Amino acid sequence: MIENRKEDHIRIAESENVETDHNYWDDIQLIHQPLPEIDFDSIDTRVRFINHEINFPMVISSMTGGTDLAKKINYNLATAAEKFGIPMGVGSMRAAVEKRDLADTFSVILERKVPVRIANVGAPQLINQAKPAFSDKDLEYIFNLIDANYLIVHFNFLQEMVQPEGDRNARGILKRLQDVASSYPVIAKETGNGISREAALQLRDAGVRAIDVGGLGGTSFAAIEFYRAKKAGDQEKMHAGRSFWNWGNPSPASIKYCDVGIPVIGSGGLRNGLDLAKALLTGAVAGGFARTLLKGADTSSEQIQTEISYILRDLKIAMFLTGSKNVSELRKARHFITEPLKSWLDIYVK
Ligand SMILES: Cc1cc2nc3c(=O)[nH]c(=O)nc-3n(C[C@H](O)[C@H](O)[C@H](O)COP(=O)(O)O)c2cc1C
């Protein structure tokens, strides 16, 4: 049952250690400027997010939908998206396609003025699996359900490999993605294992409008599925979950690999506004946060608003202490990169 799986993901992500062993944002060091010569109160955090102007370079990453708990989380996240004027994604909308009475667990975000709404579908659902592929009508349905501005197509093949009920076919996705991207403004996204240069070029050529790197360094879906497999007593999937716990391309490296001429969202392992500053100076138009926001969003709308205000304040402090009055200046801030991230960049960034 999709509903049980979604609830499991939330509970496990909240209560177990599901992080990768290393967070690659720690490999970027910013040089402190003791004489910033700017007024903290005049720091300008506005950026262009693909085709929208947004107040802060932050995105609430796709997480959930399909259960009552998910409905509450989506509502609370939407209150924060409205308050700060930032984009928000909902989780995979497969549940709404398969069971129309779950639609309001996603469309609840329309109760708030979320400035940029992002629908979500898994790449495996674009082609036939054990179940038939989503039709054009299904895609139209989910896009309209939240009056979306963009459609995320998420690539989560490691998760498919380690989850008990995973989809196994990836053949033909690129061709279908091309069709979908000719009808909708698509953002291609990973879910914690990052993007390679080869994939970035393929995605750009398929016509996607932006890439959300969803890189390695934060939530590990191999870890989440390890705990689910453990609960189900599935030794084979537990084994794979453990083996691939730290698999993937680090988030900051993925941002560099995705420097192919379309906007890039930096995500995977962002914990605070300092990490967000690092994502921006690596080249992202905005940074996406997922698990860092989960507990707060589960608690209350006040709590998640407070937590996001701290993230955004940290971002402004990082801008202040690097002498950056706006995000363009932050992108030029002096910094250096240490191992192991440095080697990931040496691979193919000239
Ligand atoms: C509980 C949970 C559910 C998620 N569900 C989805 C999903 O349905 N669709 C999607 O594109 N990503 C999903 N993700 C992945 C996140 O959007 C993000 O890419 C990933 O967690 C890495 O970011 P983080 O380290 O900030 O958590 C989910 C993440 C979590 C923690």
| CATH for 93 | 3.20.20.70
Task: State both tokens at 109.
Answer: 């975000």
pLDDT of residue 121: 98
58: enclosing H helix or E strand: strand 58-60
**Helices and strands per DSSP (H, E), number in the chain:** 16, 12
- 215-259 pLDDT, tens digit per residue, is 999 999 999 999 999 998 999 999 999 999 999 999 999 999 999
Distance 21 CA to ligand 1 centre (A): 17
Distance 42 CA to ligand 1 centre (A): 33
pLDDT of residue 317: 98
Q: What angle do CA 189, 209, 130 make, to 5 degrees?
A: 45
Q: For 117, which DSSP code?
A: E
Q: How confident is the model at residue 299 (pLDDT cuts 50, 70, 90)?
A: very high
> Is the peptide bond preceding residue 340 cis, with omega within 30 degrees of 0?
yes
Atom number, ligand 1, closest to the C-alpha of residue 219: 25
Question: Could you tell me if 115 and 87 are in contact, meaning their C-beta atoms sit under 8 angstroms apart?
Answer: yes
Q: Which of 59, 62, 77, 246 gets mutated to test ligand 1 (max ligand atoms within 8 A of its CB)?
A: 62
- Give backbone dihedrals phi and psi of 302, rounded to 5 degrees, phi first: -65, -45
Task: State the sign of the Cα–Cα–Cα–Cα dihedral 267, 273, 274, 278.
Answer: positive
Instruction: Provide the H-helix boundaries in 16-153.
Output: 68-84, 94-98, 104-107, 136-145
- 157-208 pLDDT, tens digit per residue, is 999 999 877 899 999 999 999 999 999 999 999 999 999 999 999 999 999 9
Ligand 1 pocket, CB under 6 A: 9-10, 13, 61-64, 91-92, 120, 152, 154, 189, 191-192, 214, 218-219, 267-270, 289-292, 294
Atom number, ligand 1, closest to the C-alpha of residue 269: 25
Average pLDDT over residues 129-154: 97
Distance 63 CA to ligand 1 centre (A): 5
Atom number, ligand 1, closest to the C-alpha of residue 291: 27
Give the residue, by CA position, lying nearest to ligand 1 atom 26: 290
HEC letters along 175-224:
HHHHHHHHHCCEEEEECCCCCCHHHHHHHHHCCCCEEECCCECCECHHHH
Give the N- to C-terminal CA distance of the chain in Å, as an integer.
Answer: 47
pLDDT of residue 285: 98
Distance 219 CA to ligand 1 centre (A): 7
Distance 61 CA to ligand 1 centre (A): 7
pTM of the complete model: 0.97
Q: How confident is the model at residue 6 (pLDDT cuts 50, 70, 90)?
A: confident
Distance 326 CA to ligand 1 centre (A): 29
Percentage of the chain modeled with pLDDT above 70: 98
Structural domain of residue 76, as residue ranges?
2-348
Atom number, ligand 1, closest to the C-alpha of residue 212: 19
Give the residue, by CA position, lying nearest to ligand 1 atom 4: 63
- 51-85 pLDDT, tens digit per residue, is 999 999 999 999 999 999 999 999 999 999 999 99
Distance 291 CA to ligand 1 centre (A): 7
Distance 323 CA to ligand 1 centre (A): 33
Distance 258 CA to ligand 1 centre (A): 19
pLDDT of residue 1: 61
Q: Domains in the chain: how many in total?
A: 1
Bridge partners (DSSP) of residue 184 are none
Q: Which of 191, 270, 294 gets mutated to test ligand 1 (max ligand atoms within 8 A of its CB)?
A: 191
- 3-state DSSP call for residue 61? coil
Q: Which of 20, 23, 63 gets mutated to test ligand 1 (max ligand atoms within 8 A of its CB)?
A: 63
